[in-house]
Structure 1
Amino acid sequence: METNKIRLGEIATYVNGYAFKPKDRGNVGLPIVRIQDLTGNARDVGFYNGEYPKKIEINNGDILISWSASLGVYVWNKGKALLNQHIFRVVFDKGEIDKSFFVYAVRQKLKEMGTKTHGATMKHIVKKDFDAIEIPYPQINRQIEIARNMDKISSVIEKKERQLKLLDDLIQARFVEMFGTLDNPTQNFQTARLEELCSKITDGKHGGCVQEKGTKRYFVGAREIYDDKIHYDTAPEININEFEKDYKRCNVEIGDFLIVNTGATIGKSAIATDERTIHTLLQKSVALLKVRKELLNSVFLKWCYRVNTKMYMVESASAQANLLLSKIRKTKIYVPDINLQNKFASFVQQVNKSKFVIHKFLYCFIDNKQSIIKPRLNTKESGKIRGGKPHADEF
């Protein structure tokens, strides 16, 4: 017999936000919370000054779940605000559950939720699938105990993530020291448009693909690009014939620069380094830039984007920002001597060695954290805590 489980629809009511229009956004009133405001990718804050349904008001301590474009669970702590569409406010009006436990348990299920998303660029989870998702449901005192142990692990993880942030800040500072910004360069560097510095600038397949497990051909979208890497664990495998048909146009190779060009995570980027790169087909939400290596180092380009955010910032009247290929091609950047670019890339490589050690540490901790949330079979050992902490498979 398995540990007790409960469906999300049996725990709470999930209140969707309001579809605010661009004309509703102003400079006074209550802030409008969008998905990018939760993920940390927002570049502006909109306010609404008018009447609104009480149900879309959020306050400190409210649990929010984004269910479209970017799936996530968040604890709101920035005061009274109004909820935009594609985000649920969780109202715990059904089952008895500890809020912290709920947050950890649902976060663990996000990957499972991601496999049920629909659409190639605008990911969303269908409501009936959302309500049907099951999480472990032990007694309330056990929920609280597990949440406390998870808090301890999370504290260590956050400390290591701050260290990673400091290393990224170091790289960014070094870039500015060597090259300055596009508006204030350190030297009178030559300039050129990206279309002159790249042999190809394109995006991924427009539309979906037939999924087929075991092909080792991967369909990578915005969801898979974060932390400067391509994450293949959530990328669906697709039919080989479909892969071959579209790969020629957007043939990803080792050393290519990839950047998310739409949605809440616009601007996130990675350099292709994985051996699975040649078996990767991009979705439309990702742009591919093949640099001319005699002119441009892809590491330099990545940090040029990171430092000069105006390169991907776009004004959009629609709900979803889009970085058009035409804008990418016409973007003008400075072009330092390739030897100077390579010197910067060598510095990044040295810092990345320290980042790698931290990432290995984080991998072990995060893996342990995730394993705590997996239910185990009820045995005589079930429910026991070893050394004051839950067993790795317990929950």
Structure 2
Amino acid sequence: MSFTVYIIKVIFLGSFFFTCSITLTFYNKWLFQNFHFPLTVTFIHFLTQFLGAAIIRTLMSCCCSKSPPIVLNWTMYMKRVYPAGLAAALDIGLSNMSLMFITVSLYVMSKTSCVVFVLIFAVILRLESPRVTTLIVVLLVSGGLFLFTYKSTQFNLGGFILVISASFLGGLRWVLLQMITQREDIGLKNPIDTTYHMAPVMALGLLLPVFLIEGVPASLSSEIFRYESYLTLETTTGKVALGALLAFLLTLSEYMFVHYTSSLTLSIGGIFKELLTMYLASEINHDKWSTMNLVGAGLCVLGILSHVMFKAIYAKNKYDVQGASPRNPRIRSSSEGMGALLKRDRKTKPSWEAIELLNGDDSDAIISSSGEEETIFPSEEMTRKSNGRYDTD
């Protein structure tokens, strides 16, 4: 892939992803200010994603694929998919609920703490080895979040607890999802297949909280069941449907971004997306920050950027050391070494093809979520197994 083609592809797919992600964040913030049923809306989003994935799977099976779509057995489904789906449901549900109480800026910065929980769960589940760089990232993000919320004039404790709880569950969610997508015997490498299998679990996982928290208010609301005119019902349906469409487009856009560029590109792009979201929040919603809050936001961004940089350096060093390993199916002999990944002149920088191979669609990933917005980070285990998928618990 030439540099020009790569840049055009990044700009086009990045713009699509950024537009869907930022639009959905502000749309949800606007919607939940007056329509106080975030869990119900999220539940409908999950059903829409399942329906969309089912339609796409059917079309792909009829037009593009000779093999039938993947369908998991119940044992594998309950053992592997259900825990990740339940964590995802609570993560996104709590994230959307927090938008009723906190500003978009605090929401964005608080969700950066998901990286911390991803690293912690990855170490606990032995997907990552504890390193000094991990501690540096944790300290930067945690310290930055503390400064960003310190004496904030728009701080809401209840909303902050909700979004931090969502980040905790998001860390667990993406580590569990990594373990699912990296197993050959499960076969959920295709993001559409993953969405198709996870969305029903996510909807069911949120069903009980919807009834317990929003069931009675929703049944008495004049905007839902006790509407006084068909126009009110149509307006409410249209608002919820538009959000569901944005959520589904966001899911497709982020998968396309990773597939056609790289997870590293999305990680770096996610940082700029957060900065752009905060700028728009100050312009549109008039979010206010003190100097200390801005310093805290800078530390959070620095922590995310450091995490991306450390992972990229670690991945490259692993390939430098293990490039000639017979476990790497793309290197046919030890004499090839990194020569199969990099340009023949070892003194030159890696080619764009090599960067894609190191960080792109062929790599596995740990993903941290910002509600329904995701940022993807290359996993250490991917480098241990070169370009192959691993089959361990």
TM-score greater than 0.5 by the shorter chain:
no
- Structure with bigger strand share is 1
Coarse TM-score class (shorter-chain normalised): under 0.3
Q: Which is higher, the Rg of structure 1 or of structure 2?
A: 1
Give 1 or 2: higher helix fraction: 2
Q: Which has the higher contact order (CA 8 A, sep 6+)?
A: 2
TM-score where L is the length of structure 1: 0.25
